[in-house]
Amino acid sequence: MSELTHFDAQGQAHMVDVSDKPSTVRVAVATGVICMQAATWQRIQSGQAGKGDVLGVARIAGIQGAKRTADWIPLCHPIPLTRVAIEFDHIEAQDAVRLRCSATVQTVGPTGVEMEALVAVQAALLTVYDMCKAMDRGMLITDVGLQEKRGGRSGHWRRDDGSN
């Protein structure tokens, strides 16, 4: 297991110094799921959710979340992002739908974008919840996690447990 880098020798939290790290292309992919009633999904698809284009607004929220990660997570570096892509797909069951959000975030820099991808997923899914809560307060956001990261000293990592 790697050493915790956000603590100094005295155990105090600090922002990691990345000034000596080389700038490389770094990519992270995160996913998450929001579970909802089938009727809620039908209203989203038909454009009858009452607040507009739910997935369009959620996509923009995810992009904005990625761009503002350093405002959400105190020790994250503000990173100039070169790409943020938010995608949705779904699995329908009898009375429920699992809407899956995937965020791909990229930069060229000295530190990775895993947190930006995770925040993007959360912001997108929270926006779906916010826009649809009047119809379905029982929606559940679940299974948020990093699926893949590329670049940097640690190289390529991919989740291989089949989740999400």
CATH code: domain of residue 85 = 3.30.70.640
pLDDT at 1 over 50: no
In sign, the C-alpha dihedral spanning 67, 70, 81, 105 is negative
Give the separation between CA 131 and CA 134, rounded to whole angstroms.
8
Q: Map tokens 């579970």 to a residue.
A: 35
pLDDT tens per residue across span 88-116 = 999 988 889 999 999 999 999 999 999 99
Residue 129 confidence (pLDDT) above 90: yes
Domain that holds residue 115: 24-151
Q: Which of 130, 143, 160, 161 is catalytic?
A: 130
- Domain count of the fold of the chain: 1
Strands 81-92 and 96-109 turn out to be antiparallel
Residue 49, in any domain of the structure: yes
Q: What is the pLDDT of residue 3?
A: 63
- Using an 8 Å Cβ cutoff, are 99 and 128 in contact? yes
Average pLDDT, the chain: 91
pTM of the model: 0.90
Taking only the tens place, the pLDDT of each residue in 10-42 is 777 767 778 888 899 999 999 999 999 999 999
Report which of 123, 146, 111 is spatially closest to residue 72, judged by C-alpha positions.
Answer: 123
Within a domain: 8: no
Judge whether 70 lies within some domain.
Answer: yes
Q: Is 136 a catalytic residue?
A: no
Residue 51: per-residue pLDDT: 72
